[in-house]
Chain A
Amino acid sequence: MKRQCMYAGVCVALMVASGCAFDVYHLKQLPATMESGRSARDSFQLVKEQEVDLGNSYKRTLRKGTRWTHVGTIRQGEVFKTADQILTVEASNVHEAYIVVSSNKLVGFYLPVEKAYSPLSEPVDLSIGAVVQGMNQ
């Protein structure tokens, strides 16, 4: 009887724990208002591939040669988007994302649908160059 109780207890604990685990990964999101306006550069091209650790076991790669166009400014930096690759950030859900750049570093992501900023725990250096036609791979 004791053993049966123990099994039942373990089962319930597993069910509760697994139920929680499904939604355990949340992306940190801060409300952000994007303003249009000019930036020091209207566009740039990545000279080197850059892997980005989202800090929640997910990673993303910004591809070499992708061209990024300035779409606006938020408090944390300049917002750029690209048509050369799909960029999403992911936790329990998946969000289309633009990159936020400050002083040539990737500091986080702007989520256009949520109108939110998702910061990286550590800014990442970007190898930025002028847009060169035909460089995109």
Chain B
Amino acid sequence: MNARLCFLVVLAASFLSAGCATGPKYGEIAPSFGKLAPDKGRIYVYRASALGAAVQPQVKLNGETIGNAISQGFFYVDRAPGHYEMMTSTEVDRKLSLTLDKGQTRYVRLNISMGFFVGHVYPELVESDVGQKEIQECSYIGQQK
């Protein structure tokens, strides 16, 4: 009985961890990130929750794929100041419109909500202090090349 229970716990843990990001945590790798160019702004994109880890849609910025929404992972992009639309697609498209100024750093959290067949991942602009805190536990997954 105990062996069965143990097996089930391991199985459940495997399910939960499958699809979660691995790699260096923010604090370990952030010092190696290049300094933000004076004519650019930076957008950090992270997904703190492990919920719905199997759902990993692409993240697009103004139509360009910049990364994937991987649970407990993060990446960043540097872009010229301007207007941007971030989009994730599962069974529906979810969009966030945001502005970016020169020298500005913005944090976008990818949340998950219920869907019919599959969960919906949606981007949310969060306060810098919230983003800085939550991203600490996320692993760097790199941006789409």
Contacts and interface: CB of A to CB of B under 8 A. Distances in A.
Note whether A and B form a binding pair: yes
Interface stretch (A34-42, A43-51, A107-115): A107-115
B115 A113 contact: no
A88 B125 contact: yes
B46 to A, nearest CB: 15
A84 to B, nearest CB: 10
B84 interface: yes
Contact of A15 (B83, B116, B123, B127): B116
A19 B83 CA distance: 30
Interface residues of A, number: 17
Interface in B59-86: 83-85
B97 interface: yes
Name B's interface SS: strand
Interface residues of B, number: 20
A11 to B, nearest CB: 11
B123 A94 contact: yes
B47 interface: no
B124 interface: yes
Contact of A96 (B92, B99, B115, B122): B99
A100 B125 CA distance: 20
Contacts of B120: 22
14 contacts: A22-B91, A22-B92, A22-B115, A22-B116, A22-B120, A93-B96, A93-B97, A94-B95, A94-B96, A94-B97, A96-B96, A111-B97, A112-B83, A113-B98
